[in-house]
A and B are shown apart, each in its own frame.
Chain A
Protein backbone atom coordinates (compact mmCIF):
# COMPACT_ATOMS: atom_id res chain seq x y z
CA UNK A 1 0.00 0.00 0.00
CA UNK A 2 2.93 2.34 0.73
CA UNK A 3 4.07 1.65 -2.82
CA UNK A 4 0.73 2.94 -4.27
CA UNK A 5 1.01 6.09 -2.12
CA UNK A 6 4.41 7.13 -3.49
CA UNK A 7 3.44 6.53 -7.12
CA UNK A 8 0.32 8.65 -6.58
CA UNK A 9 2.41 11.51 -5.21
CA UNK A 10 4.92 11.50 -8.05
CA UNK A 11 2.42 11.84 -10.86
CA UNK A 12 3.28 14.75 -13.18
CA UNK A 13 1.32 17.91 -12.44
CA UNK A 14 -0.54 19.62 -15.26
CA UNK A 15 1.30 22.37 -17.14
CA UNK A 16 0.74 25.87 -15.81
CA UNK A 17 1.76 29.45 -16.65
CA UNK A 18 5.41 28.91 -15.73
CA UNK A 19 5.78 26.03 -18.18
CA UNK A 20 3.90 27.16 -21.27
CA UNK A 21 5.77 29.12 -23.91
CA UNK A 22 4.16 32.56 -24.17
CA UNK A 23 2.00 33.06 -27.24
CA UNK A 24 0.14 36.17 -28.36
CA UNK A 25 -3.23 34.39 -28.02
CA UNK A 26 -2.45 33.52 -24.40
CA UNK A 27 -1.16 37.03 -23.66
CA UNK A 28 -4.22 38.74 -25.20
CA UNK A 29 -6.51 36.53 -23.14
CA UNK A 30 -4.74 37.37 -19.87
CA UNK A 31 -4.53 41.09 -20.74
CA UNK A 32 -8.25 41.09 -21.56
CA UNK A 33 -9.06 40.00 -18.02
CA UNK A 34 -6.53 42.39 -16.45
CA UNK A 35 -7.81 45.38 -18.43
CA UNK A 36 -11.35 44.37 -17.49
CA UNK A 37 -10.51 44.68 -13.80
CA UNK A 38 -8.58 47.91 -14.48
CA UNK A 39 -11.63 49.35 -16.23
CA UNK A 40 -13.54 48.71 -13.01
CA UNK A 41 -11.11 51.09 -11.27
CA UNK A 42 -11.47 53.57 -14.14
CA UNK A 43 -15.25 53.40 -13.79
CA UNK A 44 -14.82 54.41 -10.14
CA UNK A 45 -13.00 57.54 -11.34
CA UNK A 46 -15.82 58.30 -13.80
CA UNK A 47 -18.33 57.76 -10.98
CA UNK A 48 -16.44 60.14 -8.68
CA UNK A 49 -16.29 62.76 -11.47
CA UNK A 50 -20.07 62.53 -12.13
CA UNK A 51 -21.03 62.63 -8.44
CA UNK A 52 -18.75 65.63 -7.91
CA UNK A 53 -20.24 67.43 -10.92
CA UNK A 54 -23.71 66.81 -9.50
CA UNK A 55 -22.71 67.93 -5.99
CA UNK A 56 -21.06 71.32 -6.53
CA UNK A 57 -18.08 73.43 -7.64
CA UNK A 58 -15.90 72.67 -4.60
CA UNK A 59 -16.21 68.91 -4.99
CA UNK A 60 -15.70 69.14 -8.75
CA UNK A 61 -12.56 71.23 -8.20
CA UNK A 62 -11.07 68.44 -6.05
CA UNK A 63 -11.66 65.81 -8.77
CA UNK A 64 -10.41 68.19 -11.48
CA UNK A 65 -7.21 68.84 -9.48
CA UNK A 66 -6.65 65.12 -9.04
CA UNK A 67 -7.21 64.29 -12.73
CA UNK A 68 -4.96 67.08 -14.01
CA UNK A 69 -2.12 66.14 -11.63
CA UNK A 70 0.60 63.76 -12.84
CA UNK A 71 -0.90 60.78 -10.97
CA UNK A 72 -4.37 61.50 -12.32
CA UNK A 73 -3.01 61.76 -15.86
CA UNK A 74 -1.18 58.47 -15.42
CA UNK A 75 -4.40 56.77 -14.30
CA UNK A 76 -6.35 58.40 -17.13
CA UNK A 77 -3.72 57.28 -19.66
CA UNK A 78 -3.94 53.72 -18.34
CA UNK A 79 -7.73 53.95 -18.39
CA UNK A 80 -7.63 55.07 -22.05
CA UNK A 81 -5.37 52.19 -23.10
CA UNK A 82 -7.35 49.62 -21.04
CA UNK A 83 -10.57 50.84 -22.66
CA UNK A 84 -9.08 50.76 -26.18
CA UNK A 85 -7.60 47.31 -25.65
CA UNK A 86 -10.65 45.75 -23.96
CA UNK A 87 -12.97 47.28 -26.58
CA UNK A 88 -10.91 46.05 -29.55
CA UNK A 89 -10.25 42.61 -28.08
CA UNK A 90 -13.93 42.48 -27.09
CA UNK A 91 -14.84 42.86 -30.76
CA UNK A 92 -12.39 40.00 -31.45
CA UNK A 93 -14.29 37.92 -28.87
CA UNK A 94 -17.62 38.81 -30.49
CA UNK A 95 -16.22 37.69 -33.86
CA UNK A 96 -15.25 34.37 -32.26
CA UNK A 97 -18.82 34.08 -30.96
CA UNK A 98 -20.03 34.05 -34.57
CA UNK A 99 -17.55 31.23 -35.27
CA UNK A 100 -15.07 33.41 -37.18
CA UNK A 101 -11.34 33.63 -36.55
CA UNK A 102 -10.50 30.46 -34.64
CA UNK A 103 -7.80 29.28 -37.06
CA UNK A 104 -4.38 29.54 -35.40
CA UNK A 105 -3.03 31.92 -38.07
CA UNK A 106 -6.09 34.20 -37.88
CA UNK A 107 -6.20 34.22 -34.07
CA UNK A 108 -2.49 35.10 -33.93
CA UNK A 109 -2.86 37.85 -36.53
CA UNK A 110 -5.95 39.42 -34.90
CA UNK A 111 -4.16 39.27 -31.53
CA UNK A 112 -1.26 41.38 -32.83
CA UNK A 113 -3.66 43.71 -34.65
CA UNK A 114 -5.56 44.34 -31.40
CA UNK A 115 -2.35 45.08 -29.44
CA UNK A 116 -0.96 47.47 -32.09
CA UNK A 117 -4.30 49.21 -32.73
CA UNK A 118 -4.95 49.68 -28.99
CA UNK A 119 -1.63 51.52 -28.58
CA UNK A 120 -2.19 53.63 -31.73
CA UNK A 121 -5.76 54.52 -30.73
CA UNK A 122 -4.61 55.51 -27.23
CA UNK A 123 -1.94 57.80 -28.69
CA UNK A 124 -4.44 59.34 -31.13
CA UNK A 125 -6.88 60.07 -28.26
CA UNK A 126 -4.13 61.70 -26.17
CA UNK A 127 -2.64 63.70 -29.02
CA UNK A 128 -6.14 65.00 -29.79
CA UNK A 129 -6.70 65.75 -26.12
CA UNK A 130 -3.45 67.72 -25.80
CA UNK A 131 -3.12 69.54 -29.11
CA UNK A 132 -6.53 70.05 -30.62
CA UNK A 133 -8.67 70.90 -27.62
CA UNK A 134 -6.29 72.63 -25.27
CA UNK A 135 -2.67 73.04 -24.23
CA UNK A 136 -2.80 71.79 -20.65
Chain B
Protein backbone atom coordinates (compact mmCIF):
# COMPACT_ATOMS: atom_id res chain seq x y z
CA UNK B 1 0.00 0.00 0.00
CA UNK B 2 1.43 3.33 -1.09
CA UNK B 3 -1.55 5.67 -0.87
CA UNK B 4 0.41 8.85 -0.32
CA UNK B 5 2.51 11.36 -2.16
CA UNK B 6 6.24 10.82 -2.65
CA UNK B 7 8.94 12.74 -0.82
CA UNK B 8 9.69 14.73 -3.99
CA UNK B 9 6.04 15.62 -4.39
CA UNK B 10 5.86 16.74 -0.77
CA UNK B 11 8.95 18.90 -1.28
CA UNK B 12 7.24 20.54 -4.23
CA UNK B 13 4.20 21.17 -2.04
CA UNK B 14 6.42 22.71 0.64
CA UNK B 15 8.08 24.95 -1.95
CA UNK B 16 4.62 26.00 -3.19
CA UNK B 17 3.52 26.87 0.32
CA UNK B 18 6.72 28.83 1.00
CA UNK B 19 6.27 30.74 -2.24
CA UNK B 20 2.68 31.62 -1.40
CA UNK B 21 3.53 32.63 2.16
CA UNK B 22 6.14 35.00 0.76
CA UNK B 23 4.02 36.37 -2.08
CA UNK B 24 0.41 35.89 -1.13
CA UNK B 25 -0.33 36.25 2.55
CA UNK B 26 -3.90 36.99 3.51
CA UNK B 27 -3.21 40.74 3.54
CA UNK B 28 -2.32 40.50 -0.14
CA UNK B 29 -5.55 38.61 -0.89
CA UNK B 30 -7.45 41.34 0.94
CA UNK B 31 -5.68 43.98 -1.12
CA UNK B 32 -7.04 42.46 -4.33
CA UNK B 33 -10.36 41.81 -2.63
CA UNK B 34 -10.79 45.48 -1.74
CA UNK B 35 -9.29 46.92 -4.93
CA UNK B 36 -10.50 47.25 -8.50
CA UNK B 37 -8.01 44.63 -9.66
CA UNK B 38 -9.61 41.54 -11.09
CA UNK B 39 -6.75 39.32 -10.01
CA UNK B 40 -3.27 39.34 -8.51
CA UNK B 41 -1.20 39.86 -11.64
CA UNK B 42 2.27 39.77 -10.04
CA UNK B 43 1.36 36.53 -8.28
CA UNK B 44 0.09 35.02 -11.53
CA UNK B 45 3.43 35.85 -13.17
CA UNK B 46 5.35 34.49 -10.21
CA UNK B 47 3.33 31.28 -10.35
CA UNK B 48 4.25 30.98 -14.02
CA UNK B 49 7.92 31.29 -13.13
CA UNK B 50 7.38 28.43 -10.66
CA UNK B 51 5.92 26.44 -13.56
CA UNK B 52 2.52 25.98 -11.94
CA UNK B 53 0.24 26.75 -14.89
CA UNK B 54 1.97 24.11 -16.94
CA UNK B 55 2.70 21.70 -14.09
CA UNK B 56 0.86 18.80 -15.72
CA UNK B 57 1.71 19.72 -19.33
CA UNK B 58 4.58 18.13 -21.27
CA UNK B 59 7.73 20.13 -21.87
CA UNK B 60 7.03 20.04 -25.62
CA UNK B 61 4.30 22.67 -25.16
CA UNK B 62 6.18 24.62 -22.53
CA UNK B 63 4.91 22.69 -19.53
CA UNK B 64 6.94 21.65 -16.50
CA UNK B 65 6.51 17.97 -17.29
CA UNK B 66 5.30 17.01 -13.84
CA UNK B 67 1.99 15.21 -13.52
CA UNK B 68 -1.35 15.47 -11.78
CA UNK B 69 0.02 14.29 -8.45
CA UNK B 70 2.15 17.44 -8.46
CA UNK B 71 -0.60 19.70 -9.77
CA UNK B 72 -3.07 18.68 -7.04
CA UNK B 73 -0.56 19.58 -4.33
CA UNK B 74 -0.03 23.02 -5.87
CA UNK B 75 -3.83 23.32 -5.99
CA UNK B 76 -4.08 22.49 -2.29
CA UNK B 77 -1.69 25.32 -1.47
CA UNK B 78 -3.37 27.79 -3.83
CA UNK B 79 -6.61 26.90 -2.06
CA UNK B 80 -5.13 27.25 1.42
CA UNK B 81 -3.91 30.75 0.50
CA UNK B 82 -7.23 31.58 -1.24
CA UNK B 83 -4.97 33.19 -3.82
CA UNK B 84 -6.67 35.69 -6.13
CA UNK B 85 -5.52 34.12 -9.40
CA UNK B 86 -7.50 32.45 -12.22
CA UNK B 87 -5.80 29.12 -11.58
CA UNK B 88 -8.95 26.99 -11.57
CA UNK B 89 -10.64 28.27 -14.75
CA UNK B 90 -7.42 28.58 -16.73
CA UNK B 91 -5.50 25.48 -15.63
CA UNK B 92 -8.13 22.94 -14.52
CA UNK B 93 -10.79 23.83 -17.08
CA UNK B 94 -9.57 25.59 -20.22
CA UNK B 95 -6.20 23.84 -20.37
CA UNK B 96 -7.67 20.44 -19.48
CA UNK B 97 -10.38 20.83 -22.12
CA UNK B 98 -7.76 21.45 -24.79
CA UNK B 99 -5.61 18.53 -23.59
CA UNK B 100 -8.58 16.17 -23.67
CA UNK B 101 -9.83 17.33 -27.07
CA UNK B 102 -6.32 16.68 -28.36
CA UNK B 103 -6.56 18.89 -31.46
CA UNK B 104 -2.97 19.36 -32.65
CA UNK B 105 -3.57 22.73 -34.29
CA UNK B 106 -5.43 24.21 -31.31
CA UNK B 107 -2.96 22.79 -28.83
CA UNK B 108 -0.05 24.21 -30.77
CA UNK B 109 -1.74 27.59 -30.82
CA UNK B 110 -2.93 27.85 -27.21
CA UNK B 111 -1.16 25.44 -24.85
CA UNK B 112 2.20 27.24 -24.78
CA UNK B 113 0.49 30.49 -23.78
CA UNK B 114 -1.67 28.76 -21.18
CA UNK B 115 1.41 26.97 -19.81
CA UNK B 116 3.37 30.21 -19.49
CA UNK B 117 0.45 32.12 -18.00
CA UNK B 118 0.51 34.67 -20.85
CA UNK B 119 -2.86 33.39 -21.95
CA UNK B 120 -5.64 33.12 -19.35
CA UNK B 121 -8.49 30.76 -20.08
CA UNK B 122 -11.91 30.31 -18.55
CA UNK B 123 -14.94 28.04 -18.82
CA UNK B 124 -18.50 29.25 -19.36
CA UNK B 125 -21.64 27.22 -18.70
CA UNK B 126 -24.42 29.13 -16.87
CA UNK B 127 -26.94 31.27 -18.73
CA UNK B 128 -29.60 31.84 -16.10
CA UNK B 129 -30.72 31.12 -12.55
CA UNK B 130 -30.59 27.47 -11.64
CA UNK B 131 -28.54 24.40 -12.30
CA UNK B 132 -25.26 24.98 -14.10
CA UNK B 133 -25.73 22.18 -16.59
CA UNK B 134 -25.66 21.46 -20.33
CA UNK B 135 -29.43 20.98 -20.21
CA UNK B 136 -29.88 24.70 -19.51
CA UNK B 137 -27.69 25.89 -22.39
CA UNK B 138 -29.08 27.82 -25.38
CA UNK B 139 -25.95 29.50 -26.71
CA UNK B 140 -25.54 28.13 -30.22
CA UNK B 141 -22.67 27.39 -32.55
CA UNK B 142 -23.63 27.75 -36.21
CA UNK B 143 -21.11 27.56 -39.04
CA UNK B 144 -18.20 28.54 -36.81
CA UNK B 145 -20.03 31.48 -35.19
CA UNK B 146 -21.17 31.54 -31.58
CA UNK B 147 -24.29 33.41 -30.49
CA UNK B 148 -25.80 33.65 -27.03
CA UNK B 149 -24.84 34.81 -23.58
CA UNK B 150 -23.16 33.47 -20.47
CA UNK B 151 -23.28 34.69 -16.90
CA UNK B 152 -21.14 34.08 -13.82
CA UNK B 153 -18.05 33.35 -15.90
CA UNK B 154 -15.07 33.18 -13.49
CA UNK B 155 -12.46 35.81 -14.40
CA UNK B 156 -14.46 36.29 -17.60
CA UNK B 157 -13.57 39.99 -17.55
CA UNK B 158 -9.84 39.39 -17.98
CA UNK B 159 -9.56 35.95 -19.59
CA UNK B 160 -8.16 35.77 -23.12
CA UNK B 161 -10.00 32.68 -24.25
CA UNK B 162 -13.05 30.78 -23.04
CA UNK B 163 -14.21 27.24 -23.45
CA UNK B 164 -17.93 27.81 -23.84
CA UNK B 165 -20.50 25.07 -23.45
CA UNK B 166 -22.83 25.54 -26.41
CA UNK B 167 -25.33 23.69 -28.58
CA UNK B 168 -24.66 22.67 -32.15
CA UNK B 169 -27.42 20.89 -34.05
CA UNK B 170 -29.06 20.29 -30.66
CA UNK B 171 -26.01 18.62 -29.19
CA UNK B 172 -23.90 20.01 -26.34
CA UNK B 173 -20.37 20.83 -27.44
CA UNK B 174 -17.39 22.69 -25.96
CA UNK B 175 -16.38 25.65 -28.08
CA UNK B 176 -13.21 27.72 -27.97
CA UNK B 177 -13.68 31.48 -28.32
CA UNK B 178 -11.13 34.29 -28.38
CA UNK B 179 -12.61 36.72 -25.87
CA UNK B 180 -10.49 39.57 -27.26
CA UNK B 181 -11.85 39.01 -30.76
CA UNK B 182 -14.93 40.32 -32.61
CA UNK B 183 -18.49 39.54 -31.54
CA UNK B 184 -17.66 39.40 -27.82
CA UNK B 185 -18.99 41.91 -25.30
CA UNK B 186 -18.24 41.41 -21.65
CA UNK B 187 -19.01 43.15 -18.39
CA UNK B 188 -17.53 42.51 -14.99
CA UNK B 189 -20.31 41.88 -12.49
CA UNK B 190 -20.21 42.15 -8.72
CA UNK B 191 -18.84 38.88 -7.35
CA UNK B 192 -19.78 37.32 -4.01
CA UNK B 193 -16.02 36.82 -3.63
CA UNK B 194 -14.35 39.87 -5.16
CA UNK B 195 -11.05 37.98 -5.22
CA UNK B 196 -12.66 35.85 -7.94
CA UNK B 197 -13.86 38.35 -10.50
CA UNK B 198 -16.85 37.28 -12.59
CA UNK B 199 -18.37 38.51 -15.81
CA UNK B 200 -21.36 38.34 -18.10
CA UNK B 201 -20.45 37.73 -21.73
CA UNK B 202 -22.51 38.33 -24.89
CA UNK B 203 -21.58 36.44 -28.04
CA UNK B 204 -22.86 37.88 -31.30
CA UNK B 205 -21.62 35.65 -34.13
CA UNK B 206 -18.23 35.44 -32.47
CA UNK B 207 -15.77 33.27 -34.40
CA UNK B 208 -15.48 29.99 -32.51
CA UNK B 209 -13.98 26.54 -32.87
CA UNK B 210 -15.58 23.34 -31.60
CA UNK B 211 -13.38 21.04 -29.52
CA UNK B 212 -13.64 17.39 -30.55
CA UNK B 213 -16.26 15.80 -32.78
CA UNK B 214 -19.94 16.75 -32.73
CA UNK B 215 -20.95 13.47 -31.12
CA UNK B 216 -18.17 13.56 -28.53
CA UNK B 217 -19.18 16.92 -27.09
CA UNK B 218 -21.23 15.86 -24.13
CA UNK B 219 -18.73 13.18 -23.09
CA UNK B 220 -15.88 15.64 -23.43
CA UNK B 221 -17.66 18.27 -21.32
CA UNK B 222 -18.44 15.69 -18.68
CA UNK B 223 -14.85 14.47 -18.67
CA UNK B 224 -13.47 18.00 -18.29
CA UNK B 225 -15.85 18.69 -15.42
CA UNK B 226 -14.89 15.46 -13.65
CA UNK B 227 -11.20 16.19 -13.87
CA UNK B 228 -11.57 19.83 -12.89
CA UNK B 229 -13.79 18.78 -9.98
CA UNK B 230 -10.90 16.80 -8.50
CA UNK B 231 -8.46 19.67 -8.94
CA UNK B 232 -10.85 22.25 -7.46
CA UNK B 233 -11.55 19.81 -4.63
CA UNK B 234 -7.89 20.10 -3.67
CA UNK B 235 -8.20 23.90 -3.50
CA UNK B 236 -11.28 23.47 -1.32
CA UNK B 237 -9.43 20.95 0.83
CA UNK B 238 -6.53 23.35 1.41
CA UNK B 239 -8.92 26.16 2.29
CA UNK B 240 -10.97 23.95 4.62
CA UNK B 241 -7.78 22.94 6.43
CA UNK B 242 -6.84 26.61 6.77
CA UNK B 243 -10.26 27.38 8.30
CA UNK B 244 -9.82 24.53 10.78
CA UNK B 245 -6.30 25.67 11.70
CA UNK B 246 -7.50 29.22 12.14
CA UNK B 247 -10.43 28.16 14.33
CA UNK B 248 -8.18 25.98 16.51
CA UNK B 249 -5.68 28.77 16.96
CA UNK B 250 -8.34 31.32 17.86
CA UNK B 251 -10.12 28.97 20.28
CA UNK B 252 -6.86 28.33 22.14
CA UNK B 253 -6.06 32.02 22.53
CA UNK B 254 -9.49 33.41 23.28
CA UNK B 255 -10.49 33.34 26.96
CA UNK B 256 -14.04 33.45 28.29
CA UNK B 257 -15.36 32.55 31.73
CA UNK B 258 -11.78 32.40 32.94
CA UNK B 259 -10.45 29.80 30.53
CA UNK B 260 -9.62 29.22 26.86
CA UNK B 261 -12.83 28.65 24.93
CA UNK B 262 -11.11 25.60 23.40
CA UNK B 263 -11.47 23.88 26.78
CA UNK B 264 -15.28 23.86 26.49
CA UNK B 265 -16.75 20.67 25.08
CA UNK B 266 -19.16 22.64 22.90
CA UNK B 267 -16.09 24.04 21.11
CA UNK B 268 -14.15 20.78 21.14
CA UNK B 269 -16.96 18.87 19.52
CA UNK B 270 -17.41 21.51 16.85
CA UNK B 271 -13.69 21.51 16.10
CA UNK B 272 -13.59 17.69 16.13
CA UNK B 273 -16.41 17.66 13.57
CA UNK B 274 -14.48 20.11 11.41
CA UNK B 275 -11.40 17.90 11.66
CA UNK B 276 -13.47 14.85 10.70
CA UNK B 277 -14.91 16.60 7.66
CA UNK B 278 -11.44 17.66 6.52
CA UNK B 279 -9.97 14.17 6.99
CA UNK B 280 -12.76 12.51 4.99
CA UNK B 281 -12.35 15.11 2.26
CA UNK B 282 -8.58 14.63 2.26
CA UNK B 283 -8.89 10.86 1.84
CA UNK B 284 -11.46 11.19 -0.94
CA UNK B 285 -9.33 13.86 -2.64
CA UNK B 286 -6.30 11.55 -2.57
CA UNK B 287 -8.40 8.91 -4.28
CA UNK B 288 -9.34 11.51 -6.88
CA UNK B 289 -5.66 12.35 -7.37
CA UNK B 290 -4.87 8.69 -7.88
CA UNK B 291 -7.70 8.33 -10.42
CA UNK B 292 -6.56 11.46 -12.24
CA UNK B 293 -2.91 10.44 -12.35
CA UNK B 294 -3.70 6.95 -13.66
CA UNK B 295 -6.60 8.02 -15.88
CA UNK B 296 -8.56 5.29 -14.10
CA UNK B 297 -11.98 4.12 -15.17
CA UNK B 298 -12.96 4.87 -11.55
CA UNK B 299 -12.40 8.58 -12.21
CA UNK B 300 -16.09 9.56 -12.67
CA UNK B 301 -17.00 8.14 -9.25
CA UNK B 302 -13.77 9.41 -7.65
CA UNK B 303 -14.55 12.92 -8.94
CA UNK B 304 -17.96 12.88 -7.24
CA UNK B 305 -16.49 11.66 -3.95
CA UNK B 306 -13.72 14.27 -3.92
CA UNK B 307 -15.97 17.12 -5.02
CA UNK B 308 -18.84 16.38 -2.62
CA UNK B 309 -16.70 15.91 0.46
CA UNK B 310 -14.41 18.86 -0.29
CA UNK B 311 -17.29 21.24 -1.11
CA UNK B 312 -19.09 20.31 2.08
CA UNK B 313 -15.97 20.34 4.24
CA UNK B 314 -14.98 23.80 3.02
CA UNK B 315 -18.41 25.33 3.50
CA UNK B 316 -18.82 23.72 6.91
CA UNK B 317 -15.35 24.76 8.11
CA UNK B 318 -15.70 28.30 6.75
CA UNK B 319 -19.04 28.76 8.50
CA UNK B 320 -17.92 27.26 11.78
CA UNK B 321 -14.58 29.08 11.75
CA UNK B 322 -16.50 32.34 11.69
CA UNK B 323 -18.79 31.06 14.45
CA UNK B 324 -15.80 30.13 16.64
CA UNK B 325 -14.49 33.67 16.24
CA UNK B 326 -17.76 35.11 17.56
CA UNK B 327 -18.49 38.81 17.02
CA UNK B 328 -15.13 39.68 15.48
CA UNK B 329 -15.71 36.97 12.89
CA UNK B 330 -18.60 39.06 11.60
CA UNK B 331 -16.40 42.13 11.07
CA UNK B 332 -15.07 43.16 7.69
CA UNK B 333 -11.52 43.42 9.05
CA UNK B 334 -11.28 39.79 10.18
CA UNK B 335 -10.55 37.29 7.43
CA UNK B 336 -13.26 34.72 8.20
CA UNK B 337 -15.58 36.12 5.54
CA UNK B 338 -12.94 35.89 2.82
CA UNK B 339 -12.99 32.11 3.24
CA UNK B 340 -16.75 32.02 3.63
CA UNK B 341 -17.18 33.85 0.32
CA UNK B 342 -14.65 31.65 -1.42
CA UNK B 343 -16.41 28.54 -0.14
CA UNK B 344 -19.75 29.61 -1.57
CA UNK B 345 -18.35 30.66 -4.95
CA UNK B 346 -16.23 27.55 -5.38
CA UNK B 347 -19.07 25.35 -4.18
CA UNK B 348 -21.46 26.77 -6.77
CA UNK B 349 -19.01 26.66 -9.67
CA UNK B 350 -19.17 23.53 -11.82
CA UNK B 351 -22.24 22.09 -10.10
CA UNK B 352 -23.17 22.16 -6.45
CA UNK B 353 -22.58 19.33 -3.96
CA UNK B 354 -26.23 18.40 -4.48
CA UNK B 355 -25.73 18.03 -8.24
CA UNK B 356 -22.69 15.84 -7.68
CA UNK B 357 -24.54 13.68 -5.15
CA UNK B 358 -27.28 12.90 -7.62
CA UNK B 359 -24.72 12.24 -10.30
CA UNK B 360 -22.80 9.92 -7.97
CA UNK B 361 -25.83 7.73 -7.31
CA UNK B 362 -26.76 7.64 -11.01
CA UNK B 363 -23.23 6.53 -11.79
CA UNK B 364 -23.19 3.92 -9.02
CA UNK B 365 -26.60 2.59 -10.04
CA UNK B 366 -25.35 2.16 -13.59
CA UNK B 367 -22.50 -0.03 -12.37
CA UNK B 368 -23.98 -1.32 -9.14
CA UNK B 369 -22.42 -4.77 -9.52
CA UNK B 370 -19.03 -3.32 -8.69
CA UNK B 371 -20.16 -1.30 -5.67
CA UNK B 372 -18.90 -2.67 -2.37
Q: Do A and B come from one complex?
A: no
